């Protein structure tokens, strides 16, 4: 997929603009340096503004979500948010010349939009990122990320299945908190 010069213009589509703003926040955080906890602090507002974290949490938990109390659901959304922030802070740790190329051709998939981006490291092959976006009261937000074709939410759901099955909401909450702490070390 060739993006061409239009990929460097400001995106016209609001879903693409949301992804572009997030990519710029990632790059700025990488360039500013600091430890993983400092990067997490800086990235929290961008992650919360860009991702539909309640929808993502509900999908990642699966059918057991409906059996959980509102307080358990809120605790899981909060923990999933912290895990998401920690993952970006951990994985985007230092700037080495990386750049993002946004495909300006946003695709519609039913009510959702698909925004494609290439993460181009200076000395490695590009990584294809596909963002599935959904309209929310706060605008277009990401509900899933495909990293070289693999759905983040499908991976999370598989990772969460055992803690949910054996410990319910409390077991998953413990798993999420432990995973977050591991990433923030």
Which pLDDT score, from 0 to 100, does residue 9 have?
Answer: 53
pTM above 0.85, yes or no: yes
pLDDT at res. 5: 40
Task: State mean pLDDT over 126-155.
Answer: 95
Average pLDDT, integer, range 74-96 = 96
> Residue 60 is part of which domain span?
5-183
The band of 111, judged by pLDDT with boundaries at 50, 70 and 90, is very high
Residue 2's pLDDT is what? 41
Q: For tokens 């494609």, name the residue.
A: 116
When divided into structural domains, the chain yields a total of 1
pLDDT in tens, 157-177: 999 999 999 999 999 999 999
Structure tokens at 163: 């803690």
> Reduced to 3 states, what is the DSSP secondary structure of residue 32?
helix
Res 142: pLDDT: 98
Contact 111, 117 (CB under 8 A): no
CATH (domain of 35): 3.10.450.710
Whole-number Å distance between alpha carbons of 37 and 94: 13
List the end-to-end C-alpha distance of the chain, in Å, as a whole number. Answer: 37
């Amino acid at each position: 997929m060739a993006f061409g010069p239009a990929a460097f213009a400001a995106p016209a589509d609001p879903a693409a603009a949301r992804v572009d703003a997030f990519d710029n926040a990632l790059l700025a955080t990488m360039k500013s340096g600091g430890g993983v906890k400092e990067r997490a602090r800086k990235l929290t507002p961008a992650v919360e503004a860009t991702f539909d974290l309640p929808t993502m949490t509900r999908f990642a938990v699966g059918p057991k979500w409906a059996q959980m109390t509102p307080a358990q659901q809120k605790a899981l959304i909060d923990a999933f948010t912290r895990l998401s922030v920690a993952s970006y802070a951990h994985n985007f740790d230092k700037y080495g010349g990386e750049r993002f190329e946004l495909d300006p051709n946003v695709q519609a998939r039913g009510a959702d939009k698909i925004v494609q981006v290439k993460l181009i490291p200076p000395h490695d092959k590009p990584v294809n990122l596909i963002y599935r976006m959904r309209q929310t009261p706060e605008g277009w937000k990401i509900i899933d990320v495909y990293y070289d074709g693999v759905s983040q939410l499908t991976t999370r759901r598989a990772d969460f299945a055992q803690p949910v099955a054996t410990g319910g909401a409390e077991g998953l909450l413990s798993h999420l908190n432990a995973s977050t702490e591991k990433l923030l070390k």
